Amino acid sequence: MLDFMHYLPTRFVFGRSAEDKAGEMVRTCGGTRVLVHFGGGSAVKSGLLDRITASLEAAGLEYITLGGAQPNPVASKVYEGIDIIRKNNLDFVLGVGGGSTLDSSKAMALGAVYDGDFWDFFSGKALPKAHLPMGAVITLAASGSESSNSAVIMKDETMEKRGLNVEFNRPVFALMNPERTFTLPPYQTACGATDIMAHVLERYFTNETCVDLTDRMCEAVLNAVIAAAHKAMKDPCDYDARAQLMWAGTIAHNDTVGVGRLGDWASHRIEHELSAKYGVAHGAGLAVVFPAWMRYHLNLKHDVARFARLAVNVFGCEMNFANPEATAWEGVERFEAFLTSIGMPVTFRQMGGDPADIPALAESTKKDAQGLVGNFTRLDTAAVETILRLSDR
Amino acid sequence: MLDFMHYLPTRFVFGRSAEDKAGEMVRTCGGTRVLVHFGGGSAVKSGLLDRITASLEAAGLEYITLGGAQPNPVASKVYEGIDIIRKNNLDFVLGVGGGSTLDSSKAMALGAVYDGDFWDFFSGKALPKAHLPMGAVITLAASGSESSNSAVIMKDETMEKRGLNVEFNRPVFALMNPERTFTLPPYQTACGATDIMAHVLERYFTNETCVDLTDRMCEAVLNAVIAAAHKAMKDPCDYDARAQLMWAGTIAHNDTVGVGRLGDWASHRIEHELSAKYGVAHGAGLAVVFPAWMRYHLNLKHDVARFARLAVNVFGCEMNFANPEATAWEGVERFEAFLTSIGMPVTFRQMGGDPADIPALAESTKKDAQGLVGNFTRLDTAAVETILRLSDR
């Protein structure tokens, strides 16, 4: 188990009518003039935006709204938000929507108090030293952005998609009403469930030993997501299934299940290239990449025991004590079968990929200074290409 | 699943040498003049106190030390601490020790900024409206006091033991070095493991439905504690077992596994009378009360399914699908067998109780305005007496 520091400053308000606390929570967290950044028209149509602005008004707060966040958050929208914040001297950013909207809002909150170009943070040129406080009202159980230290932004011109993990990125509050996810189409619900599972699996696949407690917590979240995803797909208005997914999405990505272990994160890096290239939803891209990543490591026979454990404790496989590797492979197959059952693509072509792109995608996948990505094993460009080819079946 | 608010402001520093961060963390949290409150001589003998004061000095902080916290924290020590804080104009309380020391420190931090008697908070006469910031350095994995909203104090004269759950009670930081628990005798290690399990079980036994995710997380923590307790008993210097126990103790009692559900807490209330009367360790008292509480509810056939689930998912029982009640009972027996295997008493007399005291203990157990205690079922004095008699076998 690794030494760690853990600090989670987000105030969670979870349940029916959570959004009505917007004004009170902004005040509690010191905001007075608010940029309300939201996504598509659904926040307007559903009446959510009205509820939020009414709550801000009731608390005597001034605000400006900015709509039009994109499914893959683009830098141009961030510049627009920063401009509005500066011109109007705003002191709080409230993101209303899914992960993309929240990530854009995080980037605005960092960029508004920085003299240079906010992209400096995402390109690795500079580290943020301050931010405006930022709150979240979520409408999608997926990204965990409502309390994670992550934000991912895509540069419009180059379609580079880059992530930034800093403590400043954690929202000061998160308002979470599962009812707000009732109107999500099944495909988006499934993408969200897959994203949540991937956030847990990235942490689960570690070489750190003696992490029994967090191993078990990871398995608990995975099992709960599998059970709830099926229910929410069948009945989109099943409050309790939506509630399980929503809270699972939060703890999957705020290190509640990840302290003391070094996660992998190669699948996320590889996926960013797929969603940037093909505009595919992040969850769908992960459904293609993660099983292939597993196959790659099982071919290497890297920590077969951990794969077998996952197969038994999460995917309900019976342990083959004489041949744990067989159990491990069965687990990967059951994972893919689960993903297929909720309507996710699991091969490169199902996702709409062109195999001819694979070498370029492997090449452009962001690596570290050593030209490698991932921690469970360290992957070079050739290894990433192998993984993408394993997804092309 | 119930609506909830959740906010955990504690900054965790976990791992080897965590105590060396004392000065830095006090500074980060705004302290300048520190009361260092510690327990018995072990913090001195082990060199822990020296490490902490050296760290405070290195950070340029003034401090006064106050030793002598008792295993069951007494009000007189709290008055002493409050007096020192006021006379010396201190602005931060740092508790160093186990749950009793931390609970006393919490009471000092509340009482020092209150005009009346701090006991008003524990007797229910007043609610705290302010506090001094309070940090924790823990030497025992048990109470979860390092990030819980709880404190329990005993009045010296009357031996009344009363708890107070308020958000002000959450430490602003917790320094957690598992090595600091290597010197604990096996009996104390076992008491700690039992206390941790009880904190989870109090939350696990709820009538709330659709709490699958937190059910599974509760089971994860229980399983991890069972595995680690045996290892730590066998090899007190097993860092990883100690680390699992230490982090389990924290998340067992800071609502990481308890959000969205109403816990029971009758066993804790009943146990407070036992430790006040017989001076028995809290964990040992819980080992006697909790299985009896379970027997009482199984006799009532109250939510047999939940008991069967616990039996299968935590105590390794095979599900008797034709007779879930048999599985449920087997789970209780295995729980008791586990407690016995780590050296805990499981009957009233093993603990040193005198059965003649039972009616008075049932009578004095703190009830609410309706004269009842607990939530899984609501217990009156007669029911508490029945539970205590079930523990006298």
Q: In three state form, how does the secondary structure of A217-239 look? A: HHHHHHHHHHHHHHHHHHCCCCH
> Binning pLDDT at 50, 70 and 90, where does residue A389 land?
very high
Q: What pLDDT is stored for residue B294 in this prediction?
A: 98
Phi and psi for A251 in degrees, rounded to 5?
Answer: -75, -20
Going by pLDDT thresholds of 50, 70 and 90, the confidence category of residue B341 is: very high
Q: Is A371 on the interface with B (CB under 8 A)?
A: no
Residue in B213, B224, B247 nearest the CB of A247:
B213
Checking if the pLDDT of A298 tops 90, the result is yes
Strand partners, A154: A74, A161
Tracing tokens 């104009």 back to the chain, one arrives at B89
- Segment B299-327 mean pLDDT: 98
Mean pLDDT of B135-149: 96
Identify whether the C-beta of residue A196 lies closer than 8 Å to the C-beta of residue A144.
yes
CB A269 within 8 A of CB A365: yes
**Average pLDDT for B166-179:** 97
Given CB atoms, is A235 within the 8 Å cutoff of chain B? no
Give mean pLDDT, residues A360-388: 97
Q: Which residue of A has its CA nearest to B25?
A: A5
User: How many Å lie between the alpha carbon of B386 and the closest alpha carbon of chain A?
Assistant: 35
Q: Which amino acid is at B66?
A: L
Q: Which element (helix H / strand E) includes B193? A: helix B186-204
> Is the CB of B1 less than 8 angstroms away from the CB of A223?
no
Rounded distance between C-alpha atoms, residue B277 and residue B240, angstroms: 36
In terms of CA atoms, which chain B residue is nearest residue A177?
B3
Q: With helix as H, strand as E and coil as C, how does B292-361 read?
A: HHHHHHHHCCCCHHHHHHHHHHCCCCCCCCCCHHHHHHHHHHHHHHHHHHCCCCCCCCCCCCCHHHHHHH
CB nearest B240 (choices: A1, A3, A259): A1
Residues A320-340, mean pLDDT to the nearest whole number: 98
The answer to whether residue B69 scores a pLDDT higher than 80 is: no
Interface contact B221, partner A, CB < 8 A: yes
Q: Cβ–Cβ of B216/A212 closer than 8 Å?
A: no
Tell me: ipTM over 0.85: yes
- Give the end-to-end CA distance of chain B in Å, rounded to a whole number: 37
B278 CB-near residues (< 8 Å, 6+ apart): B285, B351, B352, B353
Q: Which of A154-168, B41-55, B350-364 has the highest mean pLDDT?
A: B350-364
User: The tokens of A28 are what?
Assistant: 């509690």
**Using a CB-CB distance cutoff of 8 angstroms, which residues of chain B are in contact with residue A221?**
213, 216-217
Beta carbons of A15 and B3 less than 8 Å apart: yes
> Where do runs of H (alpha helix) occur along A130-238?
186-204, 212-234
What is residue A134's three-state secondary structure?
strand
Total count of residues recorded for chain A: 393
Q: Are B223 and A216 in contact (CB < 8 Å)?
A: yes
Q: Encoding tokens for residue A328? A: 């491990």
Determine contact, residues A70/A77, Cβ cutoff 8 Å. yes
Per-residue pLDDT band for A47 (boundaries 50, 70, 90) equals very high
Q: Helix or strand or coil: residue B122?
A: helix
Helices (H), A41-150: 42-45, 48-58, 75-88, 99-111, 119-123
Contact A16 B3 (CB under 8 A): yes
Best mutation target, B2, B6, B20, B211, to test chain A (most A CBs within 10 A): B6
Residues of chain B with C-beta less than 8 angstroms from the C-beta of A251: 256
Count the residues in chain B: 393
The answer to whether residue A69 scores a pLDDT higher than 80 is no
Query: What is the pLDDT at residue B314?
Result: 98
Distance CA A245, CA A236 (A): 12
| A154: helix, strand or coil | strand
**In this structure, which amino acid lies at residue A121?**
F
Give the residue from B1, B20, B147, B222 with the most A CB atoms within 10 Å of its CB, the best one to mutate: B1
A221 touches B: beta carbon within 8 Å:
yes
pLDDT tens for each residue of A101-127: 999 999 999 999 999 999 999 999 999
Residue B161: band (very low, low, confident or very high) from pLDDT cuts 50, 70, 90: confident
Task: Answer whether residue B393 shows pLDDT above 90.
Answer: no
Kindly indicate the confidence band of residue A89, based on its pLDDT and cuts at 50, 70 and 90.
very high
Q: What percent of chain A has pLDDT over 70?
A: 100
CB-nearest partner of A224 from B212, B223, B259: B212
Residue A24 clears pLDDT 90, i.e. is over it: yes
B224 in reach of chain A (CB within 8 A): yes
| Cα separation, B162 vs B149, whole angstroms | 14
B220 vs A216: CB contact, 8 Å cut-off?
yes
- Beta pairing partners, B137: B96, B175
Helix H or strand E encompassing A136: strand A134-138
Distance, CA of A70 to CA of B351 (rounded, Å): 64
Positive or negative torsion for Cα B27, B29, B34, B40 = negative
Q: Does B243 touch chain A (CB under 8 A)?
A: yes
Residue B134 is inside which H or E element, if any?
A: strand B134-138
CB contact under 8 A, B224 and A213: yes
Which burial class, exposed, middle or buried, applies to B113 when counting CB atoms under 10 A from its CB (0-12, 13-18, 19+)?
middle
Residues A165, A150 contacting (CB under 8 angstroms): yes
Task: Compute the half-sphere exposure of residue B263: CA atoms within 13 Å on the CB side of its CA.
Answer: 22
pLDDT band at B383 (very low <50, low <70, confident <90, very high): very high
Query: Percent of chain B, pLDDT > 90?
Result: 94
What does the pLDDT look like over B225-260, one tens digit per residue? 999 999 999 999 999 999 999 999 999 999 999 999
Q: Cβ separation of A12 and B4 shorter than 8 Å?
A: yes
Asked if residues A268 and A202 have their Cβ atoms less than 8 Å apart, the reply is yes
Residue to substitute from A212, A225, A242, A251, interface B, most B β-carbons within 10 A: A212
* A228/A242 Cα distance (integer angstroms): 7
For residue B285, what is the enclosing H or E element? helix B282-299
At A255 the pLDDT is 94
Please tell me which residue of chain B has the smallest CA distance to A244: B213
Put simply, whether A248 touches B (Cβ < 8 Å) is: yes
Select from B2, B209, B228 the Cβ nearest to the Cβ of A212: B228
- Quickly state the pLDDT bin for B39 (edges 50, 70, 90): confident
Structure confidence at residue A150 (pLDDT): 94
CB pairs under 8 A between A and B: 111
Hey, is the C-beta of B237 within 8 angstroms of any chain A C-beta?
no
